[in-house]
Amino acid sequence: MGWKAAQKLIHHWRILRGDNVMVLRGKDKGETGVIKRVIRSQNRVIVEGQKPVLRGFRGFIIVHNQQLLPKVKKHIKQGQGHEGGIFTVEAPLHVSNVQVLDPVTGKPCKVGIKYLEDGTKVRVSRGLGALASIIPRPDILKIRTTPRPTTVGPKDTPMDLVLEKTYDTKTGKGMPDL
C-alpha cells in the first residue's frame, strides 16, 4: 500500500462487527443486514444479506454456505484437492456505502461517541431524525475466537516468582550495577 492510500484509511472506526446496517448506494440500496467482517486495511465491510451481484474475477477463494450481500461469481481453476468452476462468494462494500441503524427508530444514522456520567464510553446515534439513543455494543464482540488458557503451561512464570519483591525503592536495594 502506498502512502496516499494509507492517508485515506479510517483511524477511528465506529462501525463494528455485528452491527445492524443499511446499504446506502449501489444495486442493493435499502437492504439491511448484519456486518460479518470488517476489513480495516481497505476501509471495507462484508454484510450478510440476500441479493447477488454478478462480476467477473479470477483467483482462489473459499466458498461459504451463508448468503451474503452483495455476491460475486468467481472462476476457480482446477487444482489438486479441489474442482474448478464458477462459485458465488461475498464481496466487500466500502464503509461509506453503509450506515448503522438506529435501535429506536430503525432508520440509518451517523454514529457519535459520548461519555456517560460514570465515565463509560458509549456510541450514540446522530443525524436527522435520530434520537441520540445509545447504540449497544454487539454481543458477538464479547465472544473470543481463541479461548484464554486456564491451565499453567511449561513457559508460564510461577506465581511466587511473579509476586517476589526484587527492588526496594527506599533503600535502592536490588538495582543492577550498570
- Model pTM greater than 0.85? no
H or E element that contains 85: strand 85-90
| Domain residue spans of the chain | 19-52+66-76+83-141
Residues 48, 54, 57, 60, CA torsion sign: positive
pLDDT of 165 strictly over 70: yes
Average pLDDT over residues 145-156: 81
Question: At the topology level of CATH, where does 19-52+66-76+83-141 sit?
Answer: SH3 type barrels. (2.30.30)
Q: What are 23's three cell numbers?
A: 446499504
The overall average pLDDT reported for the chain is 80
Q: What are 150's three cell numbers?
A: 486456564
> What's the rounded Cα separation, in Å, for the pair 50 and 33?
9
pLDDT in tens, 26-37: 888 899 999 999
pLDDT at 55: 41
pLDDT in tens, 36-60: 999 998 899 998 864 444 444 344 3
φ, ψ for residue 111, nearest 5 deg: -110, 130
